[in-house]
Amino acid sequence: MNVSDEIKRLHELHLAGALTDSEFIRAKEKVLAGSTVNLNKTIGDGSITAEFSRLRRSRTDRWLGGVCGGIAVASGIDAWIWRLVFALFGVTYGVGILIYVLLWVFVPEESGIQSTPAER
C-alpha cells in the first residue's frame, strides 16, 4: 500500500467515525513521516554519488574492458546479465556500444590485484 492509499483509507475511517479528529491527524502525520524516511533512504554510506565513485572496471571478471564485471560488483547483479543487457542494447539500438565505450574510457580500473577467497 502506498502513501496516498493509506491516507485515503485513514480519511475514509475518519469520515465513518472510526477515528477522532486528533487520531486522524496523528495517524496522517505518522504515515507522512514514514514516507519521508523511505524517500530519503540511500544506498551505502548515504549518497548515490558515493556509490558511483566506488564503481571500478574489473581486472579479473572481464571480456573486453571489465566494465560489466565492475558494474556487477557495484550492483550485486551477475556480470553475464550486464553483458546481455549491453549486447541487446548494442544490437537493437546501438546505444549499448556507446555507453560501454564511454564507461570503458571514464571509469577507472581497479587498483591492485584482488585475491580470490581461496588465496586469502
Residue 1: the pLDDT is 58
Residue 115: the pLDDT is 46
Is 87 within 8 Å of 96 (Cβ atoms)? yes
Residue 76: the pLDDT is 77
Q: Give the amino acid at 90.
A: G
Q: How far apart are CA 15 and CA 44, in angstroms?
A: 42
Helix ranges (H only) for 40-106 are: 48-53, 67-75, 79-92, 95-106
Q: Is the pLDDT of residue 4 over 80?
A: no
What are the tens digits of pLDDT across the range 32-64? 877 554 444 444 455 666 666 777 877 887 778
What are the domain boundaries of the chain? Answer: 3-39, 48-106
What are the tens digits of pLDDT across the range 83-110? 888 888 888 888 888 888 888 888 888 7
Confidence of residue 80 (pLDDT cuts 50, 70, 90): confident
Residue 47: the pLDDT is 62
Residue 111: the pLDDT is 78
